[in-house]
Structures are given as C-alpha cells and as structure tokens.
Amino acid sequence: MRVVVRGGLGILVLVQFGTGLWQLLLPEGFYRDFPTVSLAPPYNEHLMRDFGAANVALGIIVLVVAVWFEKRYVTLVLLAYLAFSVPHALFHFTHLHDAAASEVAFQVASLGSAVVLPVIVLALVPRTFRVVPTAE
C-alpha cells in the first residue's frame, strides 16, 4: 500500500511541476497551446505566471511529503491538493459552453483525475499507516 500512496503522490508531483513550470516559464504558450485554457477569460501574463509559481510550490510540498512520508503530512497535502483541484475543476466544468467535444472530454478526464486520484490516495492513507501492535 505504501508504494501505491507514494506512487500517487509522485504522479501529483509530476503534474504540478509539468504544468507549473510551463505556466511560469512560457505563460503565453501555455495559455495558447494547452487544450481549453484559452476558453477562459483573456490572457493575463501576471496571473498565468503567479498560477504557475503556485503550482510549482504545491509540487514541492507534495514532493517533500512523499519523501518524509508521515501520515499527518500525507493527509494534509492531499487535503490541500483537493482544496486546489476541486474548485479548479468546477470552474472549468462550468465554462465549457464554447468547447468542442474533444476539449470537453479532455477537461473532464484531466481535471476529473486531479480530483479522483487524491481522493483515492487519501482513502488508502489509513491502511498504509496502520499501527500494528507488537508482541512483547
């Protein structure tokens, strides 16, 4: 179970670093080239770079927790990740009126998995860090 939880955290790290660095270093390219982002309000470089930096920061925190791997930290980082990913997904899910069917499918799959994966990993935390009594 520990491998599964660490693997889930690792996927979240890769997602946060991948999108965050792209947003931070090439904000206009992310806005223009990432599917459906341009459906949102007009491009704003400052906002895009700030969002990228926040994604990188969240990625760093998830990475550190994957290394430290203690129940309280894992639970906290997964709850924080959900505090980010749930409203983010809800915003995009409610702004798909001009999207093509393929864009809708991409949004639902990518942003839905950003909610479902942390929920699954969070559900595995109690089984991963179960206290086993020792015989004395």
Q: Tell me what percent of the residues of the chain surpass a pLDDT of 70.
A: 96
Which domain covers residue 46, as residue numbers? 2-128
Please report whether residue 136 resides in a domain.
Answer: no
Q: pLDDT digits over 27-37, tens only? A: 999 998 887 77
| 40 within some domain | yes
For 85-127, how does the pLDDT look when each residue is reduced to its tens digit (9 = 90+)?
Answer: 999 999 989 888 888 898 889 989 999 999 999 999 999 999 9
Is 82 a domain residue?
yes
- In the block, residue with structure tokens 């860090």: 129
> Would you call 33 exposed, middle or buried from its count of C-beta atoms within 10 A (0-12, 13-18, 19+)?
exposed
Residue 135, domain member (yes or no): no
> How many domains in the chain?
1
How long, in residues, is the chain?
136
CA distance 93 to 75: 26
Q: Considering the entire predicted model, what is its pTM?
A: 0.87
The reply to whether 134 falls in a domain is no
How far is the C-alpha of 87 from the C-alpha of 123, rounded, in Å? 20
